Chains A and B, each alone.
Chain A
């Protein structure tokens, strides 16, 4: 199923052509497991590009993503939450944010609690198997009632937390001195540079540290398009960013592509599996556009191609646990599906996924939000406040024809969100 911009097909064709004509030696540097590849455990890097959609990528030149695509398994069926924090929660805990009443940004003085400490995080499981673990970038999943904010991510097993932010915006929390929002392993300092660049540099520094153990890193490149344009270091030479939204968004996409290039250059694809997630802007008013993500997976253990499977960031932890040979802790990562078979070119059955954002967080009424329940056959039930609508993306991804609200196929989708409430 897909409903993205019409030029996506063209882009994919071009990428396929690139793949077919790429020199065979290139695979060794960009992906695929070659004969004589290093043995030992696989390392994992999950790079999340917040505020960048497939449609954004199709608008500008993105040479690094273009070069990665033909060596990747591409999941155009990735549906994300229309808000960054629940998506990050899903990536870390393999469960929907609704399970813990997390539907949006956590404001320290409003949210009663963020993620409860009883939750088992992906890095904690990996650590018990000898992995070193890191979060580079934002957390935003804990409130001030949960503990010392500059240690929020390390409480969940990210042993290293660099270029981090405890909250999604500069906020009043007396334990974070004003203007010192950047967190590095419990220390606060001013960001001093563009957050995306800081994240990229911090990842590069972390990954270049010698390590006798395999590593896992979650790298969050935040949507800062409303705050400041990317620095020239991440943009093509001589580009002048216009003062309108569209120019800023395009600049952010260009910067994201440069970041992909830097991350790719830092890792060894023969040893590492790289997940790149595109996550549309949460401010996107059309819910269907806001959930329309994409995922490229490249590197060790990955066959190049396109997977038709429906998926959600919630699937990433179970997939990594499977690839790392870890048992899934009982009752945890409960909403995820192991996609590792799809990475090898196989098919994966996937039930419906739920994409949801709401405010405020916490139990109690939060009907201000929006959600979309999506089935593998392309039926989407969208709920915006009290309004419902349904579309059939399978019949026509571009025009997304409406489905009558009494269509029997919607019954399952209507019941689905209720089944995963906390």
Chain B
């Protein structure tokens, strides 16, 4: 890390520790919740049946943003609504099951990354209804771009997203692009509505380009798109120079994982900026969110947290989400949200509240315009299926709207109060709350 960035990092860390609160912003954020001082600022008035775009970042959390320049996302956050209490499962597949189906992965036996090589038949059954199907039936043009990763290996892998109701699946791949050193973000097997080609371009750049092509194709219907990027997830291939901010150099392949990961975050920031520029925010709701936290192989040098991806500690499950578009109030929201809540929120925004499915999804629609209501506790889970080192034991956690988090990891059960202890250092003893949160977990564990 160069001296300037190191200095900036130290300043940011010092500021955040001084605040003694969960990382909750990117500089000056206007806090519109709970304050009776001023009405929320809404850049664009709400519209009926808006377009909706969900950008899924693959593996990133708060701590990463503190150390990597992300000017595009920072600008977007200033114009939109930042969720400071947003959570996902600590691994891709169950989070994506939540995002697409509004279901806890545990209901379907999906509590870890689906490993296609294992040829297990674990995957979302085809009779589950996805948000793609629901919005197609509601008259939306629907498409998914990029990574899928909620199905097992099967003959139909070429049409996975389309079998689940997305009319188009472009620049698609059923899973990740491999592990670091054994895969690449270039020369990847790409699917466009079942046609398989090898794409020489940086994968996430292709995903954004495919999205833009589709977005500009003629169709009078409102649109719904999931733009599911392959970065900054491993393999940490050095991104193309043109995606990096001026003055940033392209890392070499032999530099440490963290260096290449941070470079990927910078490239990702440029790509998110391109997606945002593609749409008209006066009629398009744009959600930007990661699926899980920082990859364990590219931990930040600051190491704020006890654990990262594949753990239920905050570094693996607590992530920034921001939303822009019609009816969205600027500022931050402390509303407790889970990635599983996206489908019901979006379906309500699109005038298509579901009459079936989405069992675990809770709408946070009201919070988009500034309201805040308590949400029932959320459940997070990862099960180690013995394919990864034992340093990541199975874990689960329950977080409630008061900021308490009950976590079971390595056969140890602990309660933390996140507003005063965001790094989970000092367990608190509150037997009543432990019992209450444990009963929430039992519902999903059984």
Contacts and interface: CB of A to CB of B under 8 A. Distances in A.
Report whether over half of chain B's contact residues are helix, strand or loop; otherwise say mixed.
Answer: loop
B162 interface: yes
B145 to A, nearest CB: 15
Contacts of A186: 154-156, 159
B231 interface: no
B168 interface: yes
Interface in B126-151: 126-127, 129, 133-134, 136-139, 141
A147 B155 contact: no
A154 B221 contact: no
A150 B154 CA distance: 12
Interface string B214-242: 00000101000000000000000000000
B137 A151 contact: no
A148 B159 contact: yes
15 contacts: A118-B167, A127-B129, A128-B356, A147-B158, A147-B193, A148-B158, A151-B156, A151-B194, A155-B162, A157-B133, A185-B126, A186-B156, A188-B155, A329-B139, A330-B139
Interface string A199-223: 0000000000000010000000000
Interface of A: 117-118, 120, 124-125, 127-130, 132-133, 146-148, 150-151, 154-155, 157, 159-160, 185-188, 213, 329-331
B356 A129 contact: yes
Given A329-B137, A329-B139, A129 B355 contact: yes
Given A129-B356, A132-B127, A151 B158 contact: yes
B133 A127 contact: yes
Contacts of A118: 141, 167, 219, 221
Contact of A148 (B137, B168, B194): B194
B354 interface: yes
Contacts, number: 79
Given A117-B167, A154-B126, A154-B156, 10 more contacts: A118-B221, A124-B136, A128-B129, A129-B355, A132-B127, A147-B193, A151-B158, A155-B163, A159-B127, A213-B127
B357 interface: yes
A154 B356 contact: no
A129 B129 CA distance: 9
Contacts of A331: 139
B292 to A, nearest CB: 29
B105 interface: no
Contacts of A159: 126-127
Given A186-B155, A187-B155, A125 B167 contact: no
Contact of A128 (B163, B168, B354): B354
A-B interface, 6 closest residue pairs, ranked by CB to CB distance from nearest:
A186-B156, A148-B194, A130-B356, A151-B159, A186-B155, A117-B167
A238 to B, nearest CB: 42
Contacts of B126: 154, 159-160, 185
B351 to A, nearest CB: 11
Interface of B: 126-127, 129, 133-134, 136-139, 141, 154-156, 158-159, 162-163, 165, 167-168, 193-194, 219, 221, 354-357
B355 A128 contact: yes
A120 B135 CA distance: 11
B215 to A, nearest CB: 15
B381 to A, nearest CB: 24
Contacts of A125: 137
Contacts of A127: 127, 129, 133
A124 B159 contact: no
Contact of B156 (A117, A128, A150): A150
Contacts of A160: 126-127
A40 to B, nearest CB: 14
A398 B163 CA distance: 47
Contact of B162 (A117, A132, A213): A117
Contacts of B139: 120, 329-331
B163 A151 contact: yes
Nearest to A330: B139
A422 B163 CA distance: 26
Contacts of A330: 139
A104 to B, nearest CB: 24
B134 A148 contact: no
Contacts of A157: 133, 165
Contacts of B138: 329
A147 B162 contact: yes
B128 to A, nearest CB: 9
Contacts of B221: 118
Contacts of A151: 156, 158-159, 162-163, 194
Contacts of B162: 117, 147, 151, 155
Nearest to A154: B163
Nearest to B168: A117
A120 B142 CA distance: 12
A35 B369 CA distance: 51
Given A117-B167, A147-B162, A124 B154 contact: no
B147 to A, nearest CB: 19
B243 to A, nearest CB: 31
Contacts of A188: 155
B352 to A, nearest CB: 9
B156 A185 contact: yes
Contacts of B163: 151, 154-155
Given A129-B356, A147-B193, A147-B194, A120 B136 contact: yes
Contacts of B165: 124, 157
A329 B138 CA distance: 7
Nearest to B221: A118
A330 B221 CA distance: 11
Nearest to A160: B126
Contacts of B127: 127, 132-133, 159-160, 213
Nearest to B125: A159
Contacts of A155: 159, 162-163
Nearest to A213: B127
A130 B357 contact: yes
Contacts of A213: 127
Nearest to B134: A128
A209 to B, nearest CB: 11
A66 B159 CA distance: 43
Nearest to B196: A148
A367 B168 CA distance: 33
A117 B166 CA distance: 9
Contacts of B168: 117
A166 to B, nearest CB: 12
Nearest to B156: A186
- Which of A118, A148, A160, A186 has the most B CB atoms < 10 Å from its CB? A148
A120 B165 CA distance: 10
- Which of A117, A129, A187, A213 has the most B CB atoms < 10 Å from its CB? A117
Contacts of A150: 155-156
B150 to A, nearest CB: 15
Contacts of A128: 129, 133-134, 137, 354-357
A3 to B, nearest CB: 39
A185 B168 CA distance: 19
A118 B220 CA distance: 11
A133 B163 CA distance: 12
